[in-house]
Amino acid sequence: MKPIKYFLSLTLALTTIVSCSKKKEPIIVTANQYHDAIDHVVDIMVHDIFSPPVASRIFAYPNVAAYEIIAQNNDSYKTLSNQINELTSIPKPKNTDNINFQLSALIAHMDLSKKLVFSEEKIETYRDSLYTIWKSKNPTVFEESEKYALEVVSHIEKWMDKDNYKQTRTMSKFTLDSDDPSRWQPTPPAYMDGIEPHWNKIRPFVIDSAAQFKPIPPPKFSMDKNSAFYKELKEVYDISNKITKEGDTSEEIAIAQFWDCNPYVSVTRGHLMFATKKITPGAHWMGITKIACKQTNTDFDKTVFVYTKASIAMADAFISCWDEKYRSNLIRPETLINNHIDDSWKPILQTPPFPEYSSGHSVVSGAASTVLTSIFGDNFQFEDYTETRYGLPVRTFKSFNIAADEAAISRMYGGIHYRAAVEVGVDQGRKLGGFVVNKIKMTK
């Protein structure tokens, strides 16, 4: 009997040792997992069809939540509390012994992202697959890290809910002014209402007000052929005709298509109308952010920092741009060309459903490129493969600023903006981006 008892005791002891060793296995969270989490959010936003301004909000808040957790445990980073509008300090954990702060940051990002999209189940499926792995490695660390993450999410969510977004959902639609020939009108093929006319009422993150970076007015509307405005209108028409004749060999068409970033393109076939879905301008620059981080082997904490600073700048850029769009309320080239020059003309890109000035992609590209340049340097060469998922080739850029300039001019090549909107727009974005860079101190 003694040998049997001894064997059973030894087996039980070994089982206990193996079990304990499993419980103590470290949970390692990588920068690639953070990239993947953002990629999943992008895919869901494409599926759910969020407008560019709303998409920028969805990017910013989860990144702020993750960053604030990282700043609690990494002395290289400063909290954003009392630096960005109305954000107060997040809760501090009472006991940090079993908290993996990087794990908490990723959990917070996923949980808050889930609250901001429609297809919550898609994030839940992805999240739960990771939870299963993390729980198997170290249940105690996972549970304590998740608990802290959700405390932070609750804090950020209360702050987020005061940004006027919910109130703007019930505000009136944009009223058309059909008696004024300079005012924006819905464009084909869907003739959609103007998107987010009240976005300037959203609380900014860093800028003092939506109008802080109000650009100069666009050229005065005039259909006089000698006026500056008409010359810009005719320039759009002439460039479009020239590059359309060149067809597939046109570099301008390639540029326009690469930076299209229209989340909802209406396609009409016979009596049917359906949509093709793409990423927004903000998502394209989130993709460039990922490329820069991966190219430099940026660690987890710095990756969160870079995404956070870039997404904050882009969120404020959309607020600034949309403030001007519905102030100047300028008519699109497509409407005027069809009514006064060529009724059969179509732009290379589909005209998006909101006023023309200033160019949203230009403003956002100017802001994002300025932030990324401040982190990675001015001569940062990279290959942008963000659009390969849509069948477009990789484009190479010698700097973020060069990429932003190309993104801006792409709107004129595409036939959806006048020159002033893109040139003033990218400058507007760079000024705003510079303000964000100088205003918030995230590193020590």
What the block records as the tokens of 69 is: 């957790």
What are the extents of the domains in the chain? 23-166, 175-439
Residue 277, pLDDT score: 86
Measured distance CA(391)–CA(394) in Å, rounded:
10
The tens digit of pLDDT for each residue in 176-233 reads: 887 899 999 999 999 999 999 999 999 999 999 999 999 999 999 999 999 999 999 9
Residue 264, pLDDT score: 84
The tens digit of pLDDT for each residue in 272-304 reads: 656 688 999 999 999 999 999 999 999 999 999
- Just give the CATH number of 175-439: 1.10.606.20
The tens digit of pLDDT for each residue in 50-88 reads: 999 999 999 999 999 999 999 999 999 999 999 999 999
User: CA angle at residue 331 from 195 to 415, to 5 degrees?
Assistant: 90
Residue 182, pLDDT score: 97
Residues 6 or more apart from 121 whose CB is under 8 A from it? none
Largest pairwise CA distance in the chain: 109
The tens digit of pLDDT for each residue in 144-187 reads: 999 999 999 999 999 999 999 999 999 999 988 878 999 999 99
pLDDT band for position 247 (cuts 50, 70, 90): confident
In the predicted structure, residue 7 carries a pLDDT above the cut 70:
no
Residue 269, pLDDT score: 61
358 prior amide bond cis, ω within 30 = yes
In the predicted structure, residue 14 carries a pLDDT above the cut 70:
no
Percent of the chain whose pLDDT exceeds 90: 89
In the predicted structure, residue 397 carries a pLDDT above the cut 80:
yes
What mean pLDDT comes out for the span 336-345? 98
C-alpha 187: how far from chain center:
25
Q: Quick one: residue 391, left, alpha or beta (phi over 0 = left, psi -120 to 50 = alpha)?
A: left
Residue 178, pLDDT score: 78
Query: Highest mean pLDDT range out of 11-15, 21-25, 86-90?
Result: 86-90
Residue 271, pLDDT score: 57
What one-letter code names the amino acid at 216? I
Measured distance CA(207)–CA(313) in Å, rounded:
9
